Structure 1
Amino acid sequence: MCVPGCQETVARRLSRRGLLKGVAGVAAGAAAFTAFPPPRAAQAQPMSFSKVVDLTHDLMEDFPTYFGQPGLEMERMTSFETDGFNMYKWHLVEHTGTHLDAPIHFSADGKTSDEIAVDQLVVPLAVVDVREKAAADPDYQVTVEDLKAHEEAHGPLPEGGCVAMNSGWAAHVATDKFRNADADGTMHFPGFSKDAAMYMMEKGVVGMAVDTLSLDFGASKTFDTHYAWLPTERWGIECLAGLDEVPATGATLVVGAPKIKGATGGPSRVIALV
């Protein structure tokens, strides 16, 4: 079941699309595109690594989901004992487990998962640590000030790269605190603020990643960060694991995104080369 306000917000967004026809709508769209053109892939650099970190949670039928309903069911089709080989049929919601948000997920005509250029899926990674702030405030949103502080300590955000939020929330994945829903069904977990997303776009960042269920903080009813980020041909990753093992800068992120034609995203094997 959708959290309060979710379906209404999406419906309002869809109904407004009809008002964007005509010269005024085209002009407004062109201005937004000019302000934040599609990101460029990071320029390939010689690299070496000594450790591979798996940033992917095990996906199980009871893995917590945004809507609170199972996102995966596995139906056995054959067994080794009776058929000589094992095989399952998956009944899968795209946005389940550690997964990709493709641009089309929150836009009318953005790229689908299979259309994301592969050179935008192997990129430099910056990890912004907000664990203390998130522990004090589960509704915490990464701010522009957090990003600037990270740059002051570790250098510029990577153009053509990905910025990940480490809120410490991955530690709660096996408990109710991962969704952290109150009596009204509103969830409380950290995310990126819209202003932070806009700042990262100015810096040419291509990917945004979180260790929670949403790029937006859990209590959001308007999904401002999703709507600001994804329509500019950028992608997101939700439900990351293992960020404690990755340095603030210097790692390379490898996103094994699903290459399913027309997909709005999907479970992905995500690793960091350190």
Structure 2
Amino acid sequence: MDGIRICAGIVLAAALAAPASAQDGGLWGIYEQQLKGAKYIDLTHAFAPVQPVWPGFANATFGPAVAGRDIEGYVAKGEEFTYARHGFVASAYQLPTDQYGTQLDPPAHWDEYGATISDLPPTFAIRPLVVIDMSAKVAADPGYALQVADIEAFEQEHGRIPEGSVVFVRSDWSKKWDDVAHFNDKPFPGVGLDALKFLHLERRILFHGHEPLDTDATPTLEGEAWLLHNHFTQAEGVTNLDRVPPTGALVTIGFAKPLGGTGGYARYVAIAPADWPHGVTIAEAPGAPLPKQPAPLRRGADGVMRPTPQS
């Protein structure tokens, strides 16, 4: 099975690298032949008013958007928009930090000379995905940090990590996400500084990602400091890595683009070969039209819109 996945990844990578031609439809041909039947796995937590966050930051607040000015005969300043009166609703989010939930950290988060989120090139959009599994070691030692030896062992089994790829480190820590009070407690799993240097300087990856909200549990966050001061990015708070193959998949990278942003609310989606047992295909979830809600949407006390059965 690993061999099939690796071959599928090689074929897809070769197809992506091949010059487009009118006869094969260019990248549309790759979509029809490879991506349309692939499996898609979301690696992202939805951000919410109550969730884990670094202790120095506060949680977000959700609520209704209100009119910022009067529109005669339609809405008064300060009035909440509703389905019944205005035909639509909108939400307002008070976000106390851009370091919230599943995220993409640019160098500007730590370095006053670093690139901001709006400086990141569009080439971040899609890359080969590598998933290194250290969950068994974390189960035995919650403070375990990925080592160079773990990377070398991975490569002995799966082959060399591709240049320009994204490497996500599986610890299964994301399964603790709902334990808001204790998600950030130490010890938590990390990525060792030597491992980070190996991945970026020897294998020349685009960036790495981890399931906790910090790179490591050292007093100075030495890994994060090294990464961002050397102008690399990183992903934090990723999830569902137990549903992704170690090699042969791609990852799409989407993030909000606030001008000069020092962090990014991110969406990562893995694209795995069609024979992979996890994920959903485009045929199963075409996206248009989207499913109808089972009950009308109503805003809860926390400000979140949810389907609410009517009595």
TM range (shorter): 0.7 to 0.9
Number of aligned residue pairs: 226
Q: Alpha-carbon deviation of 1:82? A: 3.7
Matched, 1:207 2:207: yes
CA spacing shift, 1:178–1:244, aligned 2, 3 Å:
farther
Q: Residue 262 of structure 1 aligns to a residue in which SS?
A: coil
Q: Please give the alpha-carbon distance, in whole angstroms, between the structure 1 residues aligned to 2:239 and 2:44.
A: 5
Counting aligned pairs with the same residue, the percent is 30
Equivalent in the alignment of 1:15:
none
- Which of 261, 265, 268 is matched with 2:266 structurally? 268
Equivalent in the alignment of 1:192:
191
- Deviation track 1:126-174 (CA, whole Å, cap 9, x = no partner) reads 1010001111111111000111111111111121111111001111100
Q: Please give the alpha-carbon distance, in whole angstroms, between the structure 2 residues aligned to 1:121 and 1:154.
A: 24
Q: Please give the alpha-carbon distance, in whole angstroms, between the structure 1 residues aligned to 2:173 and 2:50.
A: 17
- Deviation track 1:193-213 (CA, whole Å, cap 9, x = no partner) reads 110011011211111101111
Structure 1, 73-82 or 103-112: larger mean CA deviation: 73-82
Amino acid at match of 1:80: Y
Verify the 8 A CA contact 1:52 1:273 in the aligned structure 2.
yes
- Which of 147, 154, 157 is matched with 2:158 structurally? 154
Amino acid at match of 2:64: R
Q: Please give the alpha-carbon distance, in whole angstroms, between the structure 2 residues aligned to 1:72 and 1:55.
A: 21
Q: Please give the alpha-carbon distance, in whole angstroms, between the structure 2 residues aligned to 1:70 and 1:81.
A: 33
**CA RMSD, Structure 1 to Structure 2 (Å):** 1.9
Residue ranges of structure 2 left out of the alignment (5+ in a row): 1-12, 19-29, 66-80, 273-311
* Alignment of structure 1 residues 162-177 onto 2, 5 Å: 162-176=166-180
Q: Alpha-carbon deviation of 1:180? A: 4.7
Equivalent in the alignment of 2:282:
none
Matched, 1:45 2:17: yes
Q: Please give the alpha-carbon distance, in whole angstroms, between the structure 1 residues aligned to 2:85 and 2:230.
A: 51
Q: Please give the alpha-carbon distance, in whole angstroms, between the structure 1 residues aligned to 2:134 and 2:229.
A: 26
Matched, 1:91 2:94: yes
Q: Alpha-carbon deviation of 1:237? A: 0.8
Matched, 1:226 2:214: no
Q: Please give the alpha-carbon distance, in whole angstroms, between the structure 2 residues aligned to 1:209 and 1:177.
A: 23
Q: Please give the alpha-carbon distance, in whole angstroms, between the structure 1 residues aligned to 2:182 and 2:190.
A: 13
Amino acid at match of 2:46: D
Q: Residue 139 of structure 1 aligns to a residue in which SS?
A: coil
- Deviation track 1:100-126 (CA, whole Å, cap 9, x = no partner) reads 111111212111111111113311111
Q: Residue 268 of structure 1 aligns to a residue in which SS?
A: strand
Q: Alpha-carbon deviation of 1:81? A: 3.0
Equivalent in the alignment of 2:307:
none
Amino acid at match of 1:54: D
Q: Please give the alpha-carbon distance, in whole angstroms, between the structure 2 residues aligned to 1:69 and 1:265.
A: 13
Q: Residue 125 of structure 1 aligns to a residue in which SS?
A: strand
CA spacing shift, 1:177–1:243, aligned 2, 3 Å:
farther
* Alignment of structure 1 residues 2-81 onto 2, 5 Å: 44-45=16-17, 48-49=34-35, 50-67=38-55, 69-77=57-65, 78-81=81-84
Amino acid at match of 1:73: T
Q: Alpha-carbon deviation of 1:233? A: 2.6
Q: Residue 135 of structure 1 aligns to a residue in which SS?
A: helix
Verify the 8 A CA contact 1:120 1:160 in the aligned structure 2.
no
Residue ranges of structure 1 left out of the alignment (5+ in a row): 1-41, 182-186
- Which of 136, 148, 163 is matched with 1:144 structurally? 148
Larger relative helix fraction: 1
Amino acid at match of 1:72: A
Matched, 1:131 2:98: no
Amino acid at match of 1:63: Q
Q: Alpha-carbon deviation of 1:65? A: 0.6
- Which of 253, 258, 261 is matched with 2:256 structurally? 258
Q: Residue 94 of structure 2 aligns to a residue in which SS?
A: strand
Verify the 8 A CA contact 1:170 1:178 in the aligned structure 2.
no
Amino acid at match of 1:221: P
Tell me the TM-score normalised to structure 2 length.
Answer: 0.68
Amino acid at match of 2:82: S
Structure number, greater radius of gyration: 2
Verify the 8 A CA contact 1:102 1:264 in the aligned structure 2.
yes
Amino acid at match of 1:265: G
Q: Residue 17 of structure 2 aligns to a residue in which SS?
A: coil
Runs (4+) of structure 1 exceeding 4 A deviation are none
Q: Please give the alpha-carbon distance, in whole angstroms, between the structure 2 residues aligned to 1:197 and 1:91.
A: 34
